[in-house]
Amino acid sequence: MIFIDACFGKKTPYTPVWMMRQAGRYLPEYMRVRAEAGDFLSLCKDPKRACEVTLQPVDILGVDAAILFSDILVVPMEMGMALRFEKGEGPVFDAPLETKAQLEALHVEEAAERLEYVYEAIGLIRAQLAPEKALIGFCGAPWTLATYMIEGKGTKTYALCKKLLYSDPEFMHAILRKVTEVLKLYMSRQIEAGVDAVQVFDSWAAALEEPAFFEFSWSYMKELAAYLKAKYPHIPVILFPKGISGYLDKIDGEFDVFGVDWSTPIELAKEKLGHKYVLQGNMEPTRLYSKEAIDGGIEHIASVMQNERHIFNLGHGILPDIPVEHAKYFIKRVQERTKG
């Protein structure tokens, strides 16, 4: 698999490419399946339909890896937190985490078992995915999941979780430890079900100042990565903390690929981390509105990375109104530009 070879820094015929959120709303085929499922959570819990939408971008765009269709918040949901998705608002936990009693009531082993629909989807996908195409499993980082669990929904200020972090760090660590234990089981089960690589998304890493990031976010990502690498050394681990370009000097740990977001100059990431980790990214997602902008972005990244120790991706998820033709163009142009 070209993607797996690239994750381990091996020479590849061209730089492999995929996109975060590639199974999603910009594809009419996805919207059809989602409508059939009834709602987003029902789609996540339906292994056959989750399999179908996971495979769509492989068939339609020609990406080099499929990423499992699911949502990071199925984990706290199966731990015991009631989750719903509100139109225009996104995910909502009606009873956010506020007390130690609430935390103690959340499940660990049972949560990993209740996510059986994810493992079933993985088995279906791997059976239908071409052998040369990799399947990426994923989870949200402990800090990102804890943020949703405490805030009850998405936030721009992170006021509740950061208040807790500074006023009761012991309780915050207890939350993060419990979430990390669930994620160890969950990612192990994903690997055993058939994924070829795993990615951990820390979407809210940039909410934290440097000491807090390394104490409350990165330490738990490192712990999860080290656990998985010790247990499954043949499985590449990708870590993607978004928006921490100022902290790159202190990034370390046992993992294979570092995801570079679009706000971090690729030159800086290469200078600070390129000798230690394969880099993934970091095309600005809005460049996909213009073929000329796509060409410029590809040329810049490719000229910096020189087709070595790199996986092409967007620096965050593809946006819902990107023309499908432009997404196809991006994938094909990367594969052509980086050949040989």
- The pLDDT score that the predictor gives to residue 331 is 98
Q: Is there a contact between 220 and 176 (Cβ–Cβ < 8 Å)?
A: yes
Q: Is there a contact between 322 and 21 (Cβ–Cβ < 8 Å)?
A: no
Query: Tens of pLDDT along 101-156?
Result: 999 999 999 999 999 999 999 999 999 999 999 999 999 999 999 999 999 999 99
Above 80 in pLDDT, residue 208? yes
**Quick one: tokens of 139?**
């989870």
The predicted model gives 222-243 an average pLDDT of: 98
The predicted model gives 43-51 an average pLDDT of: 98
- The pLDDT score that the predictor gives to residue 87 is 81
- The pLDDT score that the predictor gives to residue 92 is 95
Under DSSP, the state recorded for 71 is -
Which residue type, as a one-letter code, is found at position 10? Answer: K
The pTM of this model reads 0.97
- Residues annotated in the binding site, as ranges? 21-25, 71, 148, 203, 316
| Residue range(s) defining the domain that contains residue 128 | 2-337
Q: Residue 92: helix, strand or coil by DSSP?
A: strand
Burial class for 95, CB neighbours closer than 10 Å (0-12, 13-18, 19+) = exposed
- The pLDDT score that the predictor gives to residue 215 is 98
Above 80 in pLDDT, residue 200? yes
Q: pLDDT band for 275, please (50, 70, 90 cuts).
A: very high
Query: Tens of pLDDT along 168-180?
Result: 999 999 999 999 9
- Residues annotated in the binding site for substrate, as ranges? 21-25, 71, 148, 203, 316
Above 80 in pLDDT, residue 88? no
Chain centroid offset of residue 51 CA: 17
- The pLDDT score that the predictor gives to residue 62 is 98
Above 80 in pLDDT, residue 329? yes
Average pLDDT, the chain: 97
- The pLDDT score that the predictor gives to residue 340 is 78
Torsion of CA 213, 220, 44, 263, to 10 degrees: 30
Catalytic residue ranges: 21, 25, 34, 71, 148
The predicted model gives 27-55 an average pLDDT of: 97
Q: pLDDT band for 44, please (50, 70, 90 cuts).
A: very high
Q: pLDDT band for 72, please (50, 70, 90 cuts).
A: very high
The predicted model gives 65-93 an average pLDDT of: 94
Q: pLDDT band for 297, please (50, 70, 90 cuts).
A: very high
Q: pLDDT band for 89, please (50, 70, 90 cuts).
A: confident
Q: What is the CATH number of the domain that holds 161?
A: 3.20.20.210
Q: pLDDT band for 45, please (50, 70, 90 cuts).
A: very high
State the total domains in the chain. 1
Above 90 in pLDDT, residue 339? yes
